[in-house]
Structure 1
Amino acid sequence: MRAFLFLLTAAVSFGLCYLLSSRQYLPLPLGSFLSPQEGFWQNAEPVDEDFSAQLRFPDLKGKVDVYLDDRLVPHVFAEVEDDAYFVQGYLHAKFRLWQMELQVLVAEGRASEVLGDVALNHDREFRRLGMPYAAENSLRAMEANDTTKRQCDAYSAGINAYIQSLSEASLPIEYKLLGYTPEPWSNYKTALFLKYMSYDLAAHESDFEMTNAKNVFSKEEFDLLFPPIQDSLDPIIPKGTAFAPPSIPLRIPETADSLYFSTDSVSAASLFKPDRDNGSNNWAVAGSKTASGAPILCNDPHLGLNLPSLWYEIQISTPSFNAYGVSFPGAPGVIIGYNDSCAFGFTNGGRDVRDYYKIQFKDESRLEYLYNGEWKKTDFRIERIKIKGKPDLLDTVAYTVFGPVMFDHSYTDDGLSSGKDHYAVKWSAHNPSNELMIFHKLNHARNYADYLDACRYLETPGQNCLFAAKNGDIAIRTQGRFPAKWKGQGDFVMPGT
């Protein structure tokens, strides 16, 4: 009898251990999550935690001192600039690792790997928008530049140094809840994060809605109801200011009005769009108008409310620059802030940088499509979307001269689709660009000429770049790679033929 009870107890114990450790029957591995040795208990933080430590990394070329103030804002003092980015990566990972990981999973269209099929529509949208494709293009530009290549390499190495220091017990609690392990960081992930910010700041589009609206109203009614600029808005630069002529002349076809006011009503799967009313403000006052005689710069970007915050406050001091401000967990350098000579900030330019084109394929194979009177060969990209607990989904996305075909009969969301029609998206963020250089150069900037030199590297997203220097100079510039459009072009879905 005793042997039977022992065997029964052992069987129940082993069965319970298996059940609690298996994700096949439970939404999370309760066994490991509740474990006193490795579970959530180990994530408890002492009230008076001491962050003092002497850390040694073989990647560092010199000495680095980090001081955390009473708000846990790090002040990084490095003898070698690359070492500063290594330590910044380490600090970002130490305090924001899950935030960084989730953002790039979302950006790459891989959220389903962690969250299951609840995120599948989102992942398909981002793959079809061409987020990985855009990040790959920008990665090539970032790594072709020796400065940003070294910067990213050091930053990624710092993140990975922290990841490698983690044990099962010290994993952030989000990983324990999801039964997920941190992936190594790479420069590609930094490019993905920057493209995600480009997406988040490109909300000013309503091509499908406007196309349907113009089929309800006459052209006169439409212009009255949907003016491009409200009369109540005053531009920063006064009316009548002389400007140089456009460097790119517009080629307007004689049939422009009939082309863009003759499209049938359209339908497409519903898109998640960032808040188009994401406002921001920035302003600068010249030193001649302040009591101190020094210029004032104020920057207040109204981005999404996140917990933790999108921003991470930091000071980075090296022999070549000393900058203080806020950074992005996921990218090196100071994004908004000031150095010993000047201050810099950004708000969203609010430009329409995504357009949609109706594609005419030769047949259902989609191997060729009509463009400028010729049949052009289609490129294809097979997107493998992994789904937690389910088989992978293979999504074949057609690529045209405009960009990926985002909407077609195979892409549905809550029953909505584009029917038999095919719509390609052209987005300026698909082009190779190296936005890290503007932040790198602004961190080192000393005067207005340096500011102008830095701005030329910003292609996407379009931003209002604000500047003020100790010598009294102030400046603002709307910078970006913007499509050269005639009036009304890009307001509606356009013919892709």
Structure 2
Amino acid sequence: MSGHRTLTLVLPGLAEPAEIRIDRWGVAHICAASRGDAFRVQGFNAARDRLWQLDLWRKRGLGRLAKDFGPGYLAQDRASRLFLYRGDMEAEWAAYGCPDTRAVAEAFVGGLNAFVALTAADPAWLPPEFASLGTRPEPWEAADVVRIRSHALVRNALSEVARARVAARGALALDRYRKALSPAHDPVPPAGLDPACIPADVLDEVRLGTAGVGFSPERLAARRDEAWQWCRVTEHGEVVARAPPPAPAAAAPEGSNNWAVGPGRTATGRPILASDPHRAYQLPSLRYVVHLTAPGLDVIGAGEPALPGISIGHNGRAAFSLTIAPLDQEDLVVYETHPDDPDLYRYGGDWERMRRREEHVAVRGGPDEAVSLAFTRHGPVVREDRTARRAFALRTVWTEPGSAAYLASLAYLDAADPDAFGAALRHWSAPSVNQVYADAGGRIAWFMAGKAPRRPTWDGLMPVPGDGSHEWDGFHPPEDLPRAIDPDRGFVATANEMNLPEGYPAQARKLGFEWLEPWRASRIHAVLEAQPRHSLADSVALQGDDLSLPARRLAALAAGLAAPGDAGPGPDQTGTAAGPAGAGPDEAGAARALLAGFDGHLHEGSPAAALAEVWWMHHLRPALLRRVAPNPATAALLLPGDPETLLDLLEGAPAGLDGAPANLGPAARDALLRDTLAAAYRDCASRLGADPSAWAWGRLHHALFAHPLSGIAPAGRDVGPLPVGGSGASVMNTTYRPDTFRLTVGASFRMVVDVGNWDASVFVNAPGQSGDPRSAHYDDLAGLWAARAAVPLLFSAAAVEAATEQVIALRPASADDA
């Protein structure tokens, strides 16, 4: 293609000339003369597009934020350092299943550092955020790529604490209303544990060490004597001063959808693979799409910009995609400490000493701060209570060699058949995943992969004593985890649901009991089973599917109410805020009329969708929780409430669940539905106007890609708001904050691969590929993403050439460049 821009740069460490072709959608296609050069150019290119994001990622992970941003980040730095990998580095590099892991990381970091050096020589290359805050990017070491663990998704310490706090109130039977367990299981408090000894803030250090980097004028201006106040993380992931109460001990669910459809069920006669990972919405996106070509290497897809290689994509022979399989990979450990020496904890009938490590944290505008970090044989100490003589540590797979998130994907970049792909996954540690696979030979597969601790004597659902009575017995071997290769039904699909096969020894192996609700998976399976000739367009449409099975069930509940117009909504007995009137005397009847015929599709233009979501999130679910747990302190521990359990209760009360509350018989249930429905109607009228025909879900539910410096500096350019359909229950996962209806978790990256006809594949990455506000690719995909559209994911040299907008020619350094 003639007319594209060409820029020539020197890349130190490069063995042979290489080039980066940037297509019209911001995808960088890298061509190099060797694999080592390809990964070096990948690091250089990642820094070219995402340097501010990369620098924050490293400084957050290593605990180096206070050096740039002041005392308000000191507490977060200390917490982050607790979770660094501190084990044997030789064992670490050898654990990923790729013999060249260290060399790959060194090449990648070498390229990244070359771009950092370029910004020092010519500040015009520096993204504007650095100038806004007066900071500079720092050079990396290869070890930084693997030592930072705290961005990985592991579980379930937060839920363990929540369950223990419910149990401490004598209400363990009610915990299913907080989180359903599957397969069906009654949690058993571990012997020797007093649930009442678990403080509400026991995991503040864990939250702080895994939080993102946020900015506010108050935090940036924090004085040295205020430093340790900035230590609490809200339920929305924001680091704040200590004043607010501890956040609920639960984490926002992050997951994904993926599927692979075999050639016997597709319109193309070739497999189709789809992927849309659901993570927190960020600006720039968590994912970055890149194409790496070198002798013996030709892969395209998405990874995290701070890691070499890709984890989701294809290699011209096979395609692969992952979702979270929520295996239980951590435990909170509780110790009794010595009355005379708090560094001693009871273990095995004797006392064992914590390992103390003193580190110095650089702080902007002042001297370094000395911090003390403590570790036990189980992991970092996250809280000490010397008065009660207790300490708490987090045991997690992060401390095991090979657990840097997603890096084990290097081992499967060359896989071309299910056996090779499965063999590569034997080295996968974290996060635990469902991997789906499809190849040009027509084969498809599903593998569950990840380190799964063996817990011989307990179920992993509550904290455990640290005295040696509750020790992991290693990890389940990879062959213990389920898989399916070329299944008879002709497709594989996962969506973080409980997908252990029938007959699997779940109670014996105890991989985990806390999965995401089954609704996305049920919808995906139903659609795929109904399409004997599934097409690429069908996969794109399914990724944008906004059907909410819970919303459909809510509409059925409303339709089943006896018409009471008669009595009107009656006094609000639920404690729900009614909001201003304006909808007439029979709001419940008007609401039922609006929901009549509602099919559960949460389209952004739908009035019924707005009513259904406001009803459930703001009125019915909280009111139902208050019925289940009349004691306000207990009800608060169950928030926001398990939607699966609560809907089952509504549909079957009083016999739907064993132990259903006596105050929720049929008449009481109907009154609850009617009163909250009326309140929701009034609420919508208050928010959206008195005319329900003008209501629209997208007027409330929106995406806003907020820059970390939004409102702080000119570089903080936001993207949005954009009206969006769906919810956390739809395949198009658009989980949102109930207070603002702003999206929090979902698929900013989507990909559909036509396996074998690679140039027909499509993707979208919102809001854009670049993290530089000056780039045309900063937000150019946001509108397409919101419209549920996709753009080409080009692979062949001819297609890439035709779509190239810019070429960056890279040459090795010579003596003349010194």
TM-score over 0.5 (shorter chain): yes
Structure-2 residue corresponding to 1:69: 23
Deviation at 1:291, TM superposition (A): 2.0
Q: Deviations over 1:145-170 (max 9, x none)?
A: 64111111111111111111123632
Q: Deviations over 1:34-90 (max 9, x none)?
A: xxxxxxxxxxxxxxx975222333522223232111122111111211100111111
Aligned to 1:55, the other structure's residue is in SS state strand
Q: Indicate yes or no: 2:402 matched with 1:433.
A: yes
1:333 aligns with one of 309, 324, 335: 309
Aligned to 2:342, the other structure's residue is in SS state coil
8 Å CA contact 1:312, 1:329 repeated in 2: yes
**Structure 2 unpaired stretches of 5+:** 208-232, 238-250, 468-818
Q: Which aligned pairs between 1:97-176 and structure 2 lie closer than 5 A?
A: 97-128=51-82, 130-133=83-86, 140-141=93-94, 146-166=99-119, 167=121, 169-170=123-124, 171-176=126-131
8 Å CA contact 1:344, 1:442 repeated in 2: no
Q: Deviations over 1:347-386 (max 9, x none)?
A: 1122221211111222453343211112223211223223
Deviation at 1:134, TM superposition (A): 6.7
Q: Which aligned pairs between 1:236-315 and structure 2 lie closer than 5 A?
A: 259=191, 262-267=194-199, 268-269=201-202, 270=204, 271=207, 272=233, 275-315=251-291
- Partner amino acid, structure 2, of 1:451: F
2:428 aligns with one of 434, 448, 458: 458
Whole-angstrom distance in 1 between the partners of 2:460 and 2:90: 24
8 Å CA contact 1:104, 1:192 repeated in 2: no
Whole-angstrom distance in 2 between the partners of 1:366 and 1:485: 28
Q: Deviations over 1:371-410 (max 9, x none)?
A: 1112223211223223222443322222111111111148
Structure-1 residue corresponding to 2:133: 178
Aligned residue pairs total 415
Whole-angstrom distance in 2 between the partners of 1:86 and 1:93: 11
8 Å CA contact 1:137, 1:432 repeated in 2: no
Compared CA separation, residues 196 and 496, structure 1 to 2 (3 A): closer
Structure-2 residue corresponding to 1:408: 384
2:442 aligns with one of 451, 472, 487: 472
8 Å CA contact 1:134, 1:429 repeated in 2: no
Structure-1 residue corresponding to 2:293: 317
Whole-angstrom distance in 1 between the partners of 2:366 and 2:162: 35
Whole-angstrom distance in 2 between the partners of 1:151 and 1:209: 41
8 Å CA contact 1:214, 1:261 repeated in 2: no
Q: Deviations over 1:452-478 (max 9, x none)?
A: 111111111111111111112111112
Whole-angstrom distance in 2 between the partners of 1:87 and 1:384: 34
Whole-angstrom distance in 1 between the partners of 2:154 and 2:190: 31
Q: Indicate yes or no: 2:353 matched with 1:383.
A: no
Q: Indicate yes or no: 2:460 matched with 1:490.
A: yes
1:197 aligns with one of 144, 151, 167: 151
Whole-angstrom distance in 2 between the partners of 1:62 and 1:355: 49
Whole-angstrom distance in 1 between the partners of 2:328 and 2:168: 21
Identical counterparts, % of pairs: 25
Q: Indicate yes or no: 2:95 matched with 1:95.
A: no
8 Å CA contact 1:139, 1:188 repeated in 2: no
Whole-angstrom distance in 2 between the partners of 1:257 and 1:493: 8
Structure-2 residue corresponding to 1:81: 35
**Structure 1 unpaired stretches of 5+:** 1-48, 232-255, 411-417
Structure-1 residue corresponding to 2:558: none
8 Å CA contact 2:93, 2:102 repeated in 1: no
Aligned to 2:150, the other structure's residue is in SS state helix
- Partner amino acid, structure 1, of 2:16: G
Aligned to 2:116, the other structure's residue is in SS state helix
Compared CA separation, residues 313 and 108, structure 1 to 2 (3 A): same
- Partner amino acid, structure 2, of 1:103: W
TM-score (norm 2): 0.47
Deviation at 1:487, TM superposition (A): 7.9
Aligned to 1:315, the other structure's residue is in SS state strand
Q: Deviations over 1:327-362 (max 9, x none)?
A: 321111122101111100111122221211111222
- Partner amino acid, structure 1, of 2:261: V
Structure-1 residue corresponding to 2:318: 342
Whole-angstrom distance in 2 between the partners of 1:419 and 1:112: 32
Compared CA separation, residues 87 and 212, structure 1 to 2 (3 A): same
Aligned to 1:72, the other structure's residue is in SS state coil
Structure-2 residue corresponding to 1:414: none
RMSD: 2.9
Q: Which aligned pairs between 1:359-374 and structure 2 lie closer than 5 A?
A: 359-374=335-350
Q: Indicate yes or no: 2:367 matched with 1:398.
A: no
Compared CA separation, residues 135 and 120, structure 1 to 2 (3 A): farther
8 Å CA contact 2:160, 2:461 repeated in 1: yes
8 Å CA contact 1:283, 1:298 repeated in 2: yes
Structure-2 residue corresponding to 1:44: none
8 Å CA contact 2:95, 2:427 repeated in 1: no
Q: Indicate yes or no: 2:29 matched with 1:59.
A: no
2:142 aligns with one of 178, 184, 187: 187
8 Å CA contact 2:330, 2:395 repeated in 1: yes
Structure-1 residue corresponding to 2:478: none
8 Å CA contact 1:353, 1:482 repeated in 2: yes
Aligned to 1:156, the other structure's residue is in SS state helix
Whole-angstrom distance in 2 between the partners of 1:81 and 1:88: 10
8 Å CA contact 1:382, 1:397 repeated in 2: yes
Q: Deviations over 1:252-297 (max 9, x none)?
A: xxxx756166433421353347743223111111111112221111
8 Å CA contact 1:354, 1:427 repeated in 2: yes
8 Å CA contact 2:109, 2:140 repeated in 1: yes
Whole-angstrom distance in 2 between the partners of 1:153 and 1:407: 36
Aligned to 2:52, the other structure's residue is in SS state helix
Compared CA separation, residues 313 and 79, structure 1 to 2 (3 A): same
Farther-moved stretch of structure 1 (473-482 vs 268-277): 268-277
Whole-angstrom distance in 1 between the partners of 2:288 and 2:38: 15
Deviation at 1:140, TM superposition (A): 4.7
Q: Deviations over 1:161-203 (max 9, x none)?
A: 111112363222222122222211111221145x2331x4546
8 Å CA contact 1:441, 1:450 repeated in 2: no
Whole-angstrom distance in 2 between the partners of 1:140 and 1:366: 35
Compared CA separation, residues 421 and 392, structure 1 to 2 (3 A): farther
Whole-angstrom distance in 2 between the partners of 1:203 and 1:223: 15
Compared CA separation, residues 145 and 311, structure 1 to 2 (3 A): closer
Whole-angstrom distance in 2 between the partners of 1:141 and 1:482: 19
Q: Indicate yes or no: 2:415 matched with 1:445.
A: yes
Compared CA separation, residues 120 and 378, structure 1 to 2 (3 A): same
Whole-angstrom distance in 2 between the partners of 1:137 and 1:393: 31
- Partner amino acid, structure 2, of 1:393: E
Whole-angstrom distance in 1 between the partners of 2:267 and 2:95: 43
Whole-angstrom distance in 1 between the partners of 2:50 and 2:171: 52
